[in-house]
Structure formats: structure tokens, C-alpha cells
Amino acid sequence: MLEKIEEKGMVQFLRQFDANPFLIRFDGREYPVGEGEPTFVVNFKKAIPVSSLLNSTSLALGEAYMDGDIEIEGNLYNALDHFLGQMGKFSTDTKALKKLILTSTSKKNQEKEVTSHYDIGNDFYKLWLDETMSYSCAYFRHEDDTLYQAQVNKVDYILQKLYLKEGMTLLDIGCGWGFLLMEAAKKYKVKGTGITLSHEQYKEFNRRIQEEGLQDYLNVELMDYRDLPKSGKTFDRVVSVGMVEHVGRDNYQLFIDCVSQVLKQGGLFLLHFISALKEHPGDAWIKKYIFPGGMVPSLREMLSCMAEDNFHTMDVENLRLHYNKTLLCWEKNFKDHIEEERKMFDERFLRMWDLYLSACAATFHNGIIDLHQILASKGVNNDLPMVRWY
């Protein structure tokens, strides 16, 4: 009796997501949602209590998929692409989930959160990232660009926007495995410094510096961005790609303040980040399983913080669909190497990671989130070309 009540409640809850018709199958019974031919089919092995769906729709559905209690017939991304455009209808009890959604922004906790994701293992990331080891939105100049070419394009594009000249100094905040700085050193002969909290990235970037013979041009440090001002260093250019999402809403202004303090007057700052139209606390499932403490800023928040430090915005560009394509490339690579990944992780982790990559691709495609690049100068810079030189 309880199972039938839970089944009925679950179906009733899910019927609100009717923008694109789909079919629910449960123990041989079928429940159509929406009008018309179903765009996908969801097989439930057991009902999800309505209380769980109301507490966090995202957590309830995500964990059910991870546990194998939900199976999608056909392509996971296609199903999510039709479903996640309705995330505005998701329920989240922010009071009950406060500790999960709003975590500490202390240095110690943020290092723990960052390493929990980026220190999973370089061998794992090498399986599904491209040869550049770039873990951020690529730039597909041409329809047939490979993921590798698109990542090279992205770095070239950023470096062009920074208007680099030989002998300049460049800081990369959240440098990852270092490809951007290595390209900057090789192509523009600049002196680069990268900072990261990831021990795995630090180790791999150091190895690559030695391998490429770039010791005279590059160095990498394990450092929190908050320690930059007391480092005593200043730079002609600063770039940050996919890092500010780990800072936390309370620290956006502090982050920009730190950039301002180490950037020379007239210097250029490029910020590349996942963004949202409006401010929101974030998704509970992503925060619990993928990016603890992660927070997506709105574009207006970042622009407002920059204005407080006299940053003059020169250009803003949205690369949302490029991230959709990047994630689909990653998801394909991930599936192509599933047997190797099974030797590293259990089935629940693999289902979680596949869901993460597919769901993120769908949210970018549906405009739930964007990817922005902001180019700004510290103070007025009248020496740059009057037209977009890039």
C-alpha cells in the first residue's frame, strides 16, 4: 500500500515537468507526462518519496540515477536536454540544506573542497580531457574542430585578448595543469606565474615546465588567491579561467580586490567563468557530489565588483554553446574509456560522473547557465587599439 502511495505521489509530482512529453515506466505500468509523442522514457525501479523530491528535486533524482533506481532509455544527454530546461520548477528546501548549500569560505575549507574534485587523479582526467589537459570551455572556431584544436583555439583567443608583449609578466589564478601559461611563454616570451590549490595539478604542471624546458619563464605555486597581495609581486596581465566559481558569493569583491592589488595600473584582466542571469545559491546535487562549495556568479555581480576597483570593462563575450559542445566531447571521451575507468572507480561514481557531464551540457544548451569572458583594464588604458585587435 505504501509503495503504491509513493508511486502515485511521485508521478503526480513529475507531471508538472510537461514542457517536453516523456514517459514514466514503473513495474510494468506506464504514465505519460505532457502532450504528444514522448521525447524520452524513464524506467523507475522504485518510487522516490515526494518528501525527497520536495526537499531537493535535484538530489532525489540524481541519487536515484547514481544508485541505478532510474534508467533512461536511449541517450542520457537527450533526455536531460528535454528535461533540465525546467529547472525553475525544481524544489529545494534551502533551510534543510543550508549546511550543504552554504559552506565555509575559510582557506582551509576551500582548499579541501577544491582538492576533493581536482585531486581525484591526473590519470583519470587524462582519459577524457584532451592532450592539453584543459578543464574549461573550449572555443570551436570551425564546425569540425577537434576538442584538442578547440582548446588550443581557446587559449590562443585569451592570449590575444590580453595583448601580450615579450617580457611582460602574466599571472594565472587557478592555473590548472598549466597549458595557458606554457603557450604564453612559448608564443609571447612572457614570464608567467600560476597559482592553484590542487596538489595534483601543481605536481603535473611542474613536471610539464621541466619537460618543456620553460624553467626560465614559468613557475607554479600552491597558493590561495587571498595570499597574492602579500606576495609582493605585481603583474602586467592577470587571467583567471574557471576559478572564481570556487570563491563563494561573500568573497567576490575580495577576489577582485586581490586581483587589483597585484595588477599594474593600465594592466589587463581577463575573467573566464560560468555565469548565471541572476544570483542563486546553486544546485544541491552538484554541491554534494561534484563541486562542494561551488557558486555560479551572475554577470552583473562580477561587473559590479570590478567597478568598485576602477576596472574599465572593455569587452564581454558569451561562449555558452561552446561549453555545451565541450561537455559533449568530454562525455563521449568518458564513455569511450569506461572500461579503464571501471578499474579506478565503482559503478555509482561512474554513473555520477556521466550524469554530471551530460547534465551540465544540457543546462548550457538550455541557457540555465552561461559562460562569460570579461576583459577589463585597471584604470584607463589609452594605448590599446580602438578596434578589437583579436
Which amino acids are annotated catalytic? 360
In Å, how far from its chain's centre is CA 336?
22
> Hey, what amino acid is at 261?
Q
H helices of 343-389, in order, are 347-365
Strand partners, 170: 192, 237
Q: Judging by DSSP bridges, how do beta strands 218-222 and 41-44 pair with one another?
A: unpaired
H helices of the chain, in order, are 2-14, 50-55, 57-66, 76-83, 98-101, 107-118, 122-128, 147-161, 179-188, 199-212, 252-262, 284-289, 299-308, 320-336, 338-342, 347-365
Task: Tell me which H or E stretch contains 141.
Answer: none
Angle at 12 between CA 8 and CA 13, to 5 degrees: 120
CA–CA distance, 371 with 348 (Å, rounded to integer): 29
Instruction: Give backbone dihedrals phi and psi of 298, rounded to 5 degrees, phi first.
Output: -85, 155
Q: Say if residues 259 and 247 touch (Cβ distance below 8 Å).
A: no
Q: Judging by DSSP bridges, how do beta strands 311-318 and 263-275 pair with one another?
A: unpaired
CA–CA distance, 22 with 82 (Å, rounded to integer): 9
Strand partners, 313: 376
What dihedral angle (degrees, nearest 10) is formed by the CA atoms of 95, 99, 105, 108? 170
The DSSP string of 197-259 is: S-HHHHHHHHHHHHHHT-TTTEEEEE--GGGSGGG---EEEEEEES-GGGT-GGGHHHHHHHH
Instruction: Give backbone dihedrals phi and psi of 377, rounded to 5 degrees, phi first.
Output: -110, 145
